[in-house]
């Protein structure tokens, strides 16, 4: 593995399909159903209890601070008065949302069935080979959850079902399996099990030859473990009270987990630790990572009882990731000011950063994302002019070429490539109009073989849709890319509904991608756009640097400028322009609502991070300590005032806001439920408009929403019923 960003990224989709494929004029028919319902129902009013917080000589009063609960309070079977007050308030908001959208009930159900109808019910991933077995994931008709299986030696061999999650999930409101790893002898399966949606997993073990579950159960883990080559020793990570992965333990199967040996303790609260095995499977690696630095320790997997040794110690602002091949280490790093990263290499026993030597130099115009290593070739995953790019090179330097996909705007990434000794490179490909596709690429013959393309049930024809890339000049002169997709024949104008989406944080790039559920929105005359704003990494590492810390406002102004450009150039109008984002993208939604509320007809903010100052001041909250290098530490006065100047919750004013739908999960471990709940309560108290303001809390889910491939689509159906209603979709159809 080499420097992989794991970002919770929100998948955005739109729902609803026409019986015909023609764009209709129905989207121009005005309906005020939600507004009519609002006249009949009184919204909830959250109680206020003054709570003053003073730092740097500045005092903030948070009258809704009381909504915060500890996990112990939330999970107490006999809730105290405060817990009950919070639950009562969230339920009241849910009831209010139900009442305001009552007329959408049938429509929402219809949307769900249409979305579900586009998905192939009986489906299977492309099998990949690892250590003599072919592994795949499949779904059966009506099944919410995956079935994980394998075949020995050949695709024609008898299927071995490892886990049927449909059976395992029975009786649970939420169920997720994570971190599946197989022992080197192919006998034992280790996996994580989360039944609460807090991303706290119990590690369990299954004998794949007998089907028996081992007695070993390890609680409070990240859900992932790594096997030593002795087939009985595993290494795993536990979380602290703030859900930070902070300790690594060694467990020997058959022993009491309470006696497990602590191998590593990450004492710096700004770092998170993890453990994995590199591709050659020779080394076990312990990693520690924060936004601006990395550190690794290594140990031969044949010696799991040994002591890990330092690869190269952490240095502030030195980022690096490591891979091993043929007696040498390959290091992807920003060493010596390589903003877009370069690759260095060093001998197996000379790992300190002072001993690294340049292998692939830094390029100011090309961002290096990763290197995939094979016996005779390596493949570089890069980003050039805002577009993903795959470059193939032989180890002797010959045969250098880029993989040609015949399109200008697309997303291509390495897929699962566990084997070294092969000339086949597996990759994933998609565009705004091309369903997700899995290819095998022959590194010698340069031939692409399509193995599987996402099947869209119905009358989908990619030629009926088209996309384009716009370059929008932001207020400081920087050009921001916008990817736009729509149905052919759409005539843009003030009556064209358009949904603009972005994320813009953590260096997560929102590349062009295909969405089958979005087709239904496009068929009804909507256009859909992704704004590739600063804070992501679409245009290189500097794009990220210019959208964080004391430059974070660039993220928000870029999005506003993209929206204004679409209005000014007659793609839509403020009465038909919608915005959507989730998590850190929900922070974006809150900021742009405060900055330019009149630019948007409606906003959907999913699990929004909106109480930035208070959260970043509270180190007991999950993620806080590890994110000071992303947002800044408000204990520093300069950062405090800067964060406060854009924090959505702290900047609510008595003014008109657009129609807004806010979603959250009671068990959310990433953005605690009280942030969106307090935000809605304060908005409801301050705003002067008569637009809908709805809060929907899933009382049984966390940051990712409901589990199961279909149940989660019900939430999507509701979000888009909300938007389609605001866009003026035909009232008669809404009542069908």
| Spatial contact of 108 and 721, defined as CB atoms under 8 Å apart | yes
Catalytic residue among 583, 614, 647, 669: 583
**Torsions phi, psi for 610 (to 5 deg):** -120, -15
CA–CA distance, 617 with 564 (Å, rounded to integer): 34
Is 251 marked active-site? no
Catalytic residue among 289, 703, 707, 725: 703
Is 408 marked active-site? no
CA–CA distance, 290 with 625 (Å, rounded to integer): 9
3-state secondary structure of 509: coil
Paired strand residues for 402: 391
Residue closest to 205 by CA, chosen among 185, 165, 234? 234
CA–CA distance, 244 with 621 (Å, rounded to integer): 9
Catalytic residue among 668, 669, 707, 725: 668
Is 668 marked active-site? yes
- Say which residues have a Cβ less than 8 Å from residue 585's Cβ, sequence separation at least 6: 10, 501, 502, 503, 504, 505, 606, 608
For tokens 């990494």, name the residue: 537
CA–CA distance, 163 with 204 (Å, rounded to integer): 12
Residue closest to 610 by CA, chosen among 659, 556, 562? 556
3-state secondary structure of 117: helix
Question: What does the radius of gyration of the chain's CA atoms come to, in whole angstroms?
Answer: 26
Angle between helices 711-727 and 105-118 (to 10 degrees): 120
Order of strands, sheet of 448-453, starting from the edge strand that comes earlier in the sequence: 411-414, 424-430, 437-442, 448-453
> How many CB atoms sit inside 10 A of residue 349's CB?
8
| Spatial contact of 389 and 409, defined as CB atoms under 8 Å apart | no
Structure tokens at 572: 């839509």
Structure tokens at 219: 């609680």
Q: Which residues are catalytic?
A: 583, 668, 703
């Amino acid at each position: 593995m080499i420097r992989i960003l794991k970002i919770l990224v929100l998948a955005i989709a739109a729902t609803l399909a026409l019986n015909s494929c023609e764009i209709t004029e129905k989207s121009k028919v005005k309906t005020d159903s939600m507004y009519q319902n609002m006249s009949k129902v009184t919204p909830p009013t959250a109680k206020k209890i003054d709570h003053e917080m003073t730092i740097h000589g500045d005092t903030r009063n948070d009258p809704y601070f009381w909504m915060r609960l500890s996990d112990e309070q939330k999970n107490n079977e006999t809730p105290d008065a405060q817990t009950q007050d919070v639950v009562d308030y969230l339920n009241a908001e849910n009831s209010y949302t139900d009442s305001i959208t009552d007329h959408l009930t049938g429509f929402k159900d219809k949307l769900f069935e249409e979305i579900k109808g586009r998905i192939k019910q009986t489906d299977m991933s492309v099998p990949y080979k690892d250590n003599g077995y072919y592994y795949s994931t499949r779904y059966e008709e009506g099944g919410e959850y995956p079935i994980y299986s394998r075949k020995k030696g050949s695709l024609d061999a008898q299927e071995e079902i490892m886990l049927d999650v449909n059976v395992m999930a029975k009786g649970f409101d939420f169920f997720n399996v994570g971190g599946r790893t197989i022992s080197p002898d192919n006998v034992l399966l280790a996996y994580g099990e989360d039944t609460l949606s807090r991303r706290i997993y119990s590690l369990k073990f299954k004998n794949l030859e007998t089907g028996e579950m081992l007695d070993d159960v390890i609680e409070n883990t990240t859900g992932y473990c790594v096997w030593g080559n002795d087939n009985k020793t595993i290494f795993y990570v536990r979380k602290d009270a703030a859900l930070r992965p902070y300790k690594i333990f060694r467990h020997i199967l058959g022993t009491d987990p309470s006696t497990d040996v602590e191998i590593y303790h990450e004492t710096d609260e700004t770092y998170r630790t993890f453990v994995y095995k590199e591709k050659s499977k020779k080394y076990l690696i312990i990693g520690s990572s924060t936004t601006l630095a990395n550190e690794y320790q290594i140990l031969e997997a044949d010696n799991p009882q040994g002591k890990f040794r330092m690869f190269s110690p952490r240095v502030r602002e030195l980022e690096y990731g490591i891979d091993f091949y043929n007696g040498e280490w390959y290091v992807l790093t920003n060493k010596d000011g390589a903003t877009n990263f370069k690759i260095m290499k060093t001998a197996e026993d000379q790992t300190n950063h002072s001993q690294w030597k340049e292998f692939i130099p830094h390029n100011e115009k090309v961002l290096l994302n990763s290197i995939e290593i094979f016996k005779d070739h390596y493949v570089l995953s890069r980003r050039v002019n805002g577009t993903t790019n795959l470059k193939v090179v032989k180890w002797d330097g010959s045969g250098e070429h880029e993989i040609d996909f015949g399109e200008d705007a697309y997303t291509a990434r390495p897929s699962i490539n566990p084997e070294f000794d092969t000339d086949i490179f597996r990759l994933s490909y998609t565009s705004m109009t091309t369903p997700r596709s899995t290819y095998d690429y022959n590194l010698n013959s340069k031939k692409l073989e399509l193995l599987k393309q996402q099947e869209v049930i119905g009358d989908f024809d990619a030629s009926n849709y088209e996309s384009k890339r716009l370059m929008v000049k932001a207020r400081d002169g920087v050009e921001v890319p916008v990817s736009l997709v729509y149905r052919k024949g759409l005539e843009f104008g003030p009556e064209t509904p358009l949904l603009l989406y972005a994320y813009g944080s953590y260096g997560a790039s929102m590349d062009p991608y295909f969405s089958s559920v979005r087709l239904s929105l496009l068929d009804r005359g909507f256009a859909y756009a992704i704004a590739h704003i600063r804070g992501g990494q679409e245009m290189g590492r500097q794009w990220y640097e210019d959208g964080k810390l004391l430059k974070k406002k660039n993220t928000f102004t870029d999005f506003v400028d993209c929206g204004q450009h679409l209005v000014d150039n007659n793609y839509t109008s403020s009465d038909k322009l919608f915005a959507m984002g989730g998590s850190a993208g929900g922070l974006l939604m809150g900021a742009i609502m405060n900055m330019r509320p009149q630019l948007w007809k409606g906003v959907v903010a999913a699990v929004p991070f909106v109480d930035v100052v208070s959260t970043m001041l509270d180190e007991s909250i999950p993620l806080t300590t590890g994110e000071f290098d992303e947002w800044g530490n408000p204990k520093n006065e300069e950062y405090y005032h800067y964060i406060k100047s854009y924090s959505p919750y702290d900047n609510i004013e008595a003014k008109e806001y657009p129609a807004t739908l806010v979603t959250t999960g009671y068990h959310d471990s990433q953005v605690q439920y009280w942030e969106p709940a307090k935000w809605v309560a304060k908005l409801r108290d301050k705003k002067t408009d008569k637009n809908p303001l709805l809060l929907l809390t899933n009382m049984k889910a966390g940051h990712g929403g409901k589990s199961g491939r279909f149940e989660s689509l019900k939430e999507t159906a509701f979000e888009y019923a909300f938007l389609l209603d605001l866009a003026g979709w035909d009232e008669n159809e809404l009542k069908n």
